[in-house]
Structure formats: C-alpha cells, structure tokens
Amino acid sequence: MRYPTIMFLTFLLLFTTSCQQDHSEVIRDPEAPFGPEGFETTDEGFTQINQPGPRTFNRTGENLDIIKDKQMIKDAAERMPDVNVRRVTINQRDAYVTVELNQPMTDMEMEDWRTNITSAIQAVVQYYNIHVTIE
C-alpha cells in the first residue's frame, strides 16, 4: 500500500513541476521601445539589441546628445598640446575629426600624433569609430 502511494505522489510532484516551466521565446515587437518588458531574446540568458548606431533619432538635424558628443570629442582632442580642432562630423557609428597642428612635422610624426589623438578621443567616447585627419 505504501509503494503505490509514494509512486503516485512522486509522479504527481514531477507532473506539476514540469507543467510550470515556460520554454517559450520572447520576441520583441520591432516598433516597441526598449524597456524591462521590451527586450528580445533568442537564447536563454542573452539579450540582443539591434541598433544601427549609437544614437537614433526620428527627425532630421542633430539632437542634444550629438551636440554634446561633438563637444566632448573636441575637448578631448584639444587637451593635446598644439592641436586645434577644425571640424567634428558624426555619421552613425563614425566620428570624423579634422585637426590642425601648430608645428611642421614629418609623416612619421604625424602618424604618431594621429594615433595619440585617436586614443585620447576613444578614452572619452568609446562608441564611435574615430577617424582623425591632420591638416
């Protein structure tokens, strides 16, 4: 009498716990904003965010974030001695920075300066691919 009762209770316990598990995938609506409930998962424990660039905006022109990023890039480059920033252009993930150096240099020195300026900018804003042009 005890053996069938124990087997029945064990089977009932396993059946109720297996019915409570949810193995379905949650797929985010592409039109919905990101939030605690609005994420997209394809594998358990992984979240995927599909954005073409670090900033998205739904109207033409620049928003406040782009203007602040340009100013941060300019300030980071001008911390280097004898560097004047002429122009900063941001296009999706790419930031194009044109600088002018106050002293004549060889090609090898200019390449070293380009590397140093790029490193200084990347220390401030990591989400852009930095392209530095020296005039």
CATH of 64-134, one of 3.40.50.800, 1.20.1060.10, 3.30.70.1350, 3.20.20.140: 3.30.70.1350
The pLDDT, as a whole number, for residue 7 is 85
Contacts of 95 (CB under 8 A, 6+ apart): 69, 73, 88, 89, 121, 125, 128, 129, 130, 131
Q: What is the pLDDT of residues 63-92, one digit of tens each?
A: 668 888 999 999 999 998 889 999 999 988
What is the C-alpha end-to-end distance of the chain, expressed in Å?
93
Higher-confidence residue of 46 and 100: namely 100
Domain boundaries, the chain: 1-50, 64-134
Q: How far apart are CA 134 and CA 84, in angstroms?
A: 10
Asked if pLDDT for residue 11 goes beyond 90, the answer is no
